[in-house]
Amino acid sequence: MVLCAFLVSGPSAGVATLSDPVSSERPLFIFPAPGGDAPDGLAHADRILSAWQMLPESLRPLCVFELESPVTDEAFWPDRFRDVLREMQFSSIPVMVRIANGDPRAIYPLAELALLLEEFTTIRGVHVEGLTFNEYYAFGESDPLGIPPQAKWLMEAIEVAGRYGRLITIELDEMHWPRIMSNAWCKPLYDTIRRNKENVVPLNGQHGPHNIARTSALLGLWLEEAVDQWGLGCSSDWYRQAGFIEPGVFGVAGDEVQMPPALYRAMILNGAMAGAAAYRFERPEDMWFGAQRHNWDNVILPTLIEIVDRGYIAPKDLVQRKIRIAYRLNPAQTSKEFHANLVDIDVVYGEGRMLRGAYGVERPGQVPELIPNTGRYYWIPILSPYALDEVLRQFEEVILPGAMLDAQSWRERLDLYYPPDGEGSAFISRVGRGIFVLHTRENLYEEQTFRLEALPSPVRSISAERHEEGIELSWPFREGDLFYRVYRRVLPETEYTLVASDIDGRRYLDTTAANLGTVAYTVTALTNEREPYEGTVNYGDYLVFNSAESRIGDEVMLDSFTRTASSAAIVAPGDNRPKTQEWWPTGLDGLGDNEVFVARAIAARIEEWEQAFSAEDLERVVGLYAHDYQDASGHSREYVRSAYDLLFKLYRAGQMHRQIRSWDLSAYSESGEVGLVLYCRFTAIDESDARGRYADLPVSFPDVPSGEVRLTFAQRDDAWRILRSDPPLPHLDDIIVNP
């Protein structure tokens, strides 16, 4: 395992002091503390201490444990909480204290927090999550009393943390960061964040379908100097919440569905390339002490060490150099005014012109975007209306809401400023030391290509010779090489360990290789030698190449009975993943040619259903139902009209999530009817009144646990139309009760 030099030379006690700033060179890793189910405070503390000791010692200076603060109406918790903190203080284990989780009953009293921060110096900071900012107040004319209560509380929490020199990490979901940045009633909160920018670390919580917009917003806060650093909240819950079951299968995911571990790497690399310096992990099960620790062993730990060791967290000056265009929000006093911003930055419930143009969209809503579909335009920072003029002058152009008519206009404008960093269908973006090549499909197999024109050339033709003193390696001279690193693996290990670095010659004697059995070596170079490199990525592949150090290309292997050996190119193992995967329509295998023709015609009608719903075209939607339609409750086509009409009046239509589970053509030859089971979920937004209270709450139907509906289609008036549905689709109860 590769550890970077400055980590190895960190404090021997493994504790980051409160004065250590968070930065790309010294990131902050926040892990959930184990032991919440322990019988008492001492047992709880013992579990934390045991987990701390299991962390690599060199990684500890960057790590803290997050403790959940006690719910004040549970009498035993405050004493237990202090017992844990006392043990943490005694053992010099740094902690963050979660003081808000979205439940108003669990908000930690700020007066009590001040006492904690004064008493326990082991508290590195506090964490806030789950707050919402989709209410718009109109108390007087910009009267300070119009500040939302959650904003007032957060302002005071920031001040308390700053008063005691502690960090406060704030993790928000949905579109709440852009709302804070633009909501006129939250301007005092924005000002408080800016005044305490060295202590405030905003986090993009990996939940819901708005991940890319939140990353862009936090990048904007950072670049406009409102905060000194920003970060990510990483959770495997994202996969299940996204409605992913397995590659190619979408729907209501049960608790048994586990996120493929590689997606943790995608989350971390997304943050690193955009300069995120804080990484919070939510699920204890996925840590080194949890039941799903393979996530930690195989992905999380190696990726964290990689981004630190290789310097892949992009520093601010290089991020600024990479970005040419920024987007600036309009101020908003109501949700309606905020929608002028959503036209560009919300691809789920709005047009999302900027997101579609800059990042591409696989399928709005149904496939929450984690990885942009193109890396050509890097990340477009979303700035607040309060960004200073000197900040705006850093960019070649700052675009305002509505300035571009569509996604194509965005792409044409961005093309003027951003030459591609490579060729191919994969995500490719170069920033700082990293060249990032990422597979872009969050839940599909698809072979994607990449070509990099000038990558550091690998060290080849490595020789190994066994001596009494050890194994001596040598390799040829190249004019562009500056320094070398030597890596070793002992079979059957598959991962390399760094054994020597900063070598300025072309020989290395490994005196520690005796009695190791079969060993393999490879050498990399800090070099100016360059060559093209191309390849493919598929589902779960998230690559980073170093722009200065060569990749591993050749390997030389010696067993116990061999005296000399020469290197050979490392050959990737065979890849049996599908090169393409069709998710729509599915279930066609085994059908005859005529049946496939019928199934595709019905699938096309379902696509029309989706388009008509999103456009709120009542006549087109109702036209998809047969005149003699009847649902499982006996409702007719007129009932369908009334239900959709009410829905379009109450809500703003979003998307239709869909996937065919199975076909039933057994009755087609006799009755002309075709049955199918459809995973089907319609989404919409509950828009509030013009003043904005409780604005933009997402709703969905049908209200069935599986999300699956049995539909029967038949031809009526020369078109396939819905003849029956079970359960009823739509149902007035879903529409009225859902909010």
How many CA atoms within 13 Å lie on the side-chain side of 264? 28
- Which tens digit of pLDDT belongs to each residue from 714-728? 999 999 999 999 999
Contact 174, 134 (CB under 8 A): yes
Q: Can you tell me the distance from the alpha carbon of 340 to that of 337, in angstroms, rounded to the nearest whole number? A: 6
Q: Mapping DSSP to helix (H, G, I), strand (E, B) and coil, where does residue 284 land?
A: helix
Half-sphere exposure of 26 (CA within 13 A, CB side): 17
Q: What is the DSSP string of 227-269?
A: -S--EEEE-THHHHHTTEEETTEES---TT----THHHHHHHH
Q: For residue 731, what are the contacts with CB-CB under 8 A and spacing of at least 6?
A: 631, 633, 643, 701, 702, 703
HSE (CB half, 13 Å, CA atoms) of 732?
11
Confidence class of residue 17 from pLDDT cuts 50, 70 and 90?
Answer: very low
| Edge-to-edge strands, sheet with 554-558 | 497-503, 481-490, 519-527, 554-558, 568-569
Return the percentage of the chain with pLDDT > 90, whole number.
Answer: 76
The tens digit of pLDDT for each residue in 128-138 reads 999 999 888 76
Distance CA(330)–CA(383), nearest Å, equals 9
Of 197, 193, 198, 153, the residue nearest 177 (C-alpha): 193
Residue 421 to residue 376: CA distance in whole angstroms: 7
* pLDDT score at 507: 95
Q: CA–CA separation, 708 vs 428, rounded Å?
A: 37
Q: Identify the pLDDT of residue 14.
A: 38
Quick one: which of 267, 212, 269 has its CA closest to 545? 269
Planar angle of CA 667, 671, 676, nearest 5 degrees: 45
List the one residue out of 12, 109, 126, 117 whose CA is nearest residue 68.
126
Tell me: pLDDT of 676 over 70. Answer: yes
Look up the pTM and report it: 0.93
* E strand or H helix at 51: helix 41-54
Bridge partners of 533?
452
Q: State the average pLDDT over residues 280-292.
A: 96
Whether residue 650 has pLDDT greater than 60: yes
Residue 354 pLDDT greater than 60, yes or no: yes
**What is the mean predicted confidence (pLDDT) over 115-138?**
91
Percentage above 70 pLDDT, the chain: 94
- Encoded amino acid at 669, one letter: S
Does residue 7 surpass a pLDDT of 80?
A: no
Is the model's pLDDT at 3 over the cut of 50?
no
Instruction: Name the 3-class secondary structure at 400.
Output: coil
CA atoms of 716 and 622, how far apart (whole Å): 13
Classify residue 432 as exposed, middle or buried by CB count within 10 Å of its CB (0-12, 13-18, 19+). buried
Looking at residue 145, its pLDDT comes to: 61
Tell me the mean pLDDT in the region 51-67: 94
Overall size of the chain counted in residues = 739
- Cα–Cα distance between 680 and 663 in angstroms, integer? 15
Fill in the amino acid letter for 298: N
Domains of the chain (ranges, CATH numbers): 5-318 (3.20.20.80), 322-425 (3.30.2330.20), 452-569 (2.60.40.10), 593-737 (3.10.450.50)
pLDDT digits (tens, 9 = 90+) for 139-176: 655 565 678 889 999 999 999 999 999 999 999 999 99
Q: Rounded to an integer, what distance in angstroms lies between the CA atom of residue 235 and that of residue 267?
A: 9
d(CA 563, CA 463): 11
How far apart CA 221 and CA 379 sit, in angstroms, is 13
Strands 325-328 and 397-399: what pairing?
parallel
Q: Which residue is it, tokens 């320094």?
A: 483
Q: How far is CA 320 from CA 21, 175, 374, 399, 689, in A?
A: 20, 24, 19, 17, 40
Q: In which band, very low, low, confident or very high, does the pLDDT at 4 lie, cut at 50, 70 and 90?
A: very low
H or E stretch at 146: none
pLDDT in tens, 603-620: 999 999 999 999 999 999
pLDDT of 314 = 97
Residue 324 has pLDDT above 70, yes or no: yes
Task: Give me 720's structure tokens.
Answer: 């396939």
Picking from 239, 264, 249, 304, the residue whose alpha carbon sits closest to that of residue 2 is 304
72-102 tens-digit pLDDT: 455 556 788 899 999 999 999 999 999 998 8
Short-list 516, 389, 551, 360, CA closest to 448: 360
The pLDDT of 670-697, averaged and rounded, is 82
6-32 residues labelled b (16+ CB within 10 A) or e (exposed): ebeebeeebbbebeeebebebbbbbbb
pLDDT for the residue numbered 334: 83
- Distance from C-alpha of 396 to C-alpha of 256, rounded to nearest angstrom: 49
What is the reported pLDDT for 9? Answer: 28
Question: 3-state secondary structure string, 371-396?
Answer: CCCCCCCCCCCEECCCCCHHHHCCCC
Burial class (CB in 10 A: 0-12, 13-18, 19+), 671: exposed
Highest mean pLDDT among 3-7, 340-344, 701-705: 340-344
Tell me the average pLDDT across 305-331. Answer: 96
What is the helix (H) or strand (E) element at residue 302, kind and residue range? helix 301-309
Confidence of residue 738 (pLDDT cuts 50, 70, 90): low
**Structure token pair of residue 306:** 């990689």
Q: Give the chain's mean pLDDT.
A: 91
Residue 6's pLDDT is what?
26
Assign 331 to helix, strand or coil. coil
pLDDT for 18 equals 47
**Tokens read off for 655:** 């998307």
Q: Are 91 and 52 in contact (CB under 8 A)?
A: yes
Find the helix or strand (DSSP H, E) in which 344 lies. helix 335-345
Nearest Cα to 87, choosing from 127, 51, 37?
Answer: 51
Helical packing angle, 41-54 and 76-91, nearest 10°: 30
pLDDT of residue 166: 96
pLDDT grade, residue 11 (50/70/90)? very low
More confident residue, 308 or 8: 308
Report d(CA 98, CA 87) in Å as an integer. Answer: 18
Q: How far apart are CA 644 and CA 163, in angstroms?
A: 54
